[in-house]
């Protein structure tokens, strides 16, 4: 009886830690975002950022705004002519020192691959900045949260 009591007492901090971790506020980068064309500023797609099984984040296009049923005409290889909806925009992005970074990205409108430098939500949670680099050249896209 005494052993069960002590085992229960020792297990309590572990249970508290598990519940505290699961009760944390959701990450502000998770959700649906409206993306914009770098050159024209016109809305391009609704993209969903989600948590992956390994604890990282990824993003995929859920809706093309500029033309329904858009296909990846600028793509090469196995992505050429495939529907843009469902395509991954970035993946393998992990949190390092409190910042989402690393991973790979793909821009369906141009068919370009890039490395993800950072993914950051604004303080108010209404905007997302995705910075990607190709060689030494980096660009930041600003996305707006979709309610």
> What is the residue-level pLDDT of the chain in tens, covering all 147 positions?
555 554 554 555 544 444 444 445 579 999 999 999 888 889 999 999 999 999 999 999 999 997 888 999 888 888 999 999 999 999 999 998 889 999 999 998 889 999 999 999 999 999 999 999 999 999 999 999 997
Q: Structure tokens of 18?
A: 């598990």
Question: Does residue 9 lie within any of the structural domains?
Answer: no
In a domain, 16, yes or no: no
Burial track 75-100 (b if 16+ CB lie within 10 A, e otherwise) = beeebeeeebbebbbbbebeeeeeeb
7 within some domain:
no
Whether 6 maps to a domain, the answer reads no
- Contact, 32 vs 142, CB < 8 A? no
User: Per the structure, how many domains does the chain have?
Assistant: 1
Residue 8 falls inside a structural domain: no
CATH (domain of 132) = 2.40.128.520
Answer whether residue 47 is part of any domain: yes
Q: What is the pLDDT of residues 15-48, one digit of tens each?
A: 444 444 444 557 999 999 999 988 888 999 999 9
What is the pLDDT, as a whole number, of residue 121?
95
11 domain residue, yes or no? no
> Range of 114's domain?
31-145
Query: Residue 98: its pLDDT value, please?
Result: 87
- Domain membership of residue 112 (yes or no) is yes
């Amino acid at each position: 009886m005494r052993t069960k009591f002590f085992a229960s007492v020792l297990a309590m901090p572990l249970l508290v830690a598990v519940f505290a971790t699961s009760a944390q506020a959701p990450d502000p980068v998770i959700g649906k975002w409206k993306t914009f064309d770098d050159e024209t500023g016109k809305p391009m797609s609704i993209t969903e950022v989600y948590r992956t099984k390994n604890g990282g984040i990824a993003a995929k296009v859920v809706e093309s705004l500029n033309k329904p049923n858009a296909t990846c005409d600028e793509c090469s290889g196995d992505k050429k002519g495939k529907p843009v909806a469902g395509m991954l925009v970035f993946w393998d992005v992990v949190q390092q020192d409190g910042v989402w970074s690393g991973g790979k990205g793909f821009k369906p409108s141009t068919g370009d691959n890039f490395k993800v430098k950072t993914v950051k939500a604004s303080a108010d949670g209404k905007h997302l900045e995705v910075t990607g680099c190709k060689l030494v050249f980096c660009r930041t896209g600003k996305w707006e949260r979709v309610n």
